[in-house]
Amino acid sequence: MLEFYPKSSYIEVNKFMPFVKEKFYIEEETIAFLYVMRTLNYTQGEAQRHIAKGRLLIDGESMTYTGAKIQGDVEMVFFRPKGTGVRPTFQNNHFMIFEKPSGVLVHPNTMATPYSMLDEVRTIAGDNANATHRIDMETSGLLLASKHKKAEHHLKNAFEKRTIKKSYLAWVDGKLAEPFTSTECIKVNNKGYDETKHKVFISDEGKRAHTDFVPLEYDAHLDATLIACYPHTGRLHQIRIHLFHVKHPILGDPIYGASFEASDAYLDMLQSEEDRLIQHGAPRLMLHAQSLEFVYESRFYIESKMDFVSQKSLIYPPEKRVFNKG
């Protein structure tokens, strides 16, 4: 029997959300994580995390001990994808490439997330398919997804070892005329967000980071430069903080290049459309994942088909936008 969460459940969702609660009957006593592995086709680690998150229920209550023995009626909460018909721009037997729109998450960040790219990935290739790298919600562009566990392991490992080369395009505030390199170390903000909403900082105490930047086009009317970005390391918000550090924040960035008050309003979803334009310069983060180059049996070089250059039409006039350039 399939049912969606009722309002009385421990988390409230609606019928459009991809997490469902399904009832199962276990005839013979079995260890909890083994049952989840067999039923949902999970690895041991995935099954244990599933239980630890409270997604196995007995008599309506979450149980979190993965080694417990269970029998009889149980309920499980799990992800059931609801694709919208988005197709990959390229695919083979091992992986798929999608064009992720700005504003869409790669993975659901809570069980209340109504839609993410994972819906499309698993609708097409099944429960063992997965996105293999992260892209910020407001960043658009190429997303590489595996079709099976072997491909997922291979591709994630390649990202970790930096053997997959990535490039991005960005529209930034102000004029940049010459290529440059940033090797500033990046430190994650572990001190809370009472004074700033920045997730990371430039700090000698941080981890090594390296990004090359090449200006491509300057629009004097918008006082904005289109630049190509080549990250050689994979730190959180690396491109964003490196550009903010040189006082050319990415247009539309709601965190770096914005006041505390503006960032706070954005994160609390209290910011009006007009304030978003005034305070951040664009209705979205003007960053785009442009290309991927990697080896999987053969060498692949894939470029985005989206015309990101024309996205400059979204940029607010310079005389009307406000920036905190640090």
**Domain 81-161 coded CATH 3.30.70.580:** yes
What is the distance between the alpha carbons of residues 109 and 111, in angstroms, rounded to a whole number? 7
pTM: 0.85
What is the distance between the alpha carbons of residues 300 and 69, in angstroms, rounded to a whole number? 47
pLDDT of residue 42: 86
Q: Assign domain 2-79 one CATH number from 3.40.1010.10, 3.30.2270.10, 3.40.605.10, 3.10.290.10.
A: 3.10.290.10
The 10s digit of each residue's pLDDT in 268-278 is 999 999 999 99
The 10s digit of each residue's pLDDT in 68-97 is 999 999 999 888 899 999 999 999 999 999
What is the distance between the alpha carbons of residues 63 and 82, in angstroms, rounded to a whole number? 27
CATH fold, domain 165-326, is Pseudouridine synthase (3.30.2350)
pLDDT of residue 190: 87
Q: For the chain, which residues make up each domain, given as ranges?
A: 2-79, 81-161, 165-326
What is the distance between the alpha carbons of residues 296 and 307, in angstroms, rounded to a whole number? 27
Question: Which active-site residues does the annotation give?
Answer: 136
User: Nearest-5° angle of CA 311, CA 314, CA 315?
Assistant: 105
Q: How far is CA 240 from the centre of its chain?
A: 15
Q: Which of 169, 251, 167 is nearest to 216 (CA)?
A: 169
Split at pLDDT 50, 70, 90, the class of 326 is low
| Exposed / middle / buried, residue 214 (Cβ in 10 Å: 0-12, 13-18, 19+) | middle
- Calculate the dihedral angle through the C-alpha atoms of 226, 232, 237, 240, rounding to the nearest 10 degrees: -30
What residue has token string 């024309």? 310
pLDDT of residue 180: 98
Q: Which of 323, 246, 215, 315 is nearest to 279 (CA)?
A: 323
Q: How far is CA 29 from the centre of its chain?
A: 39
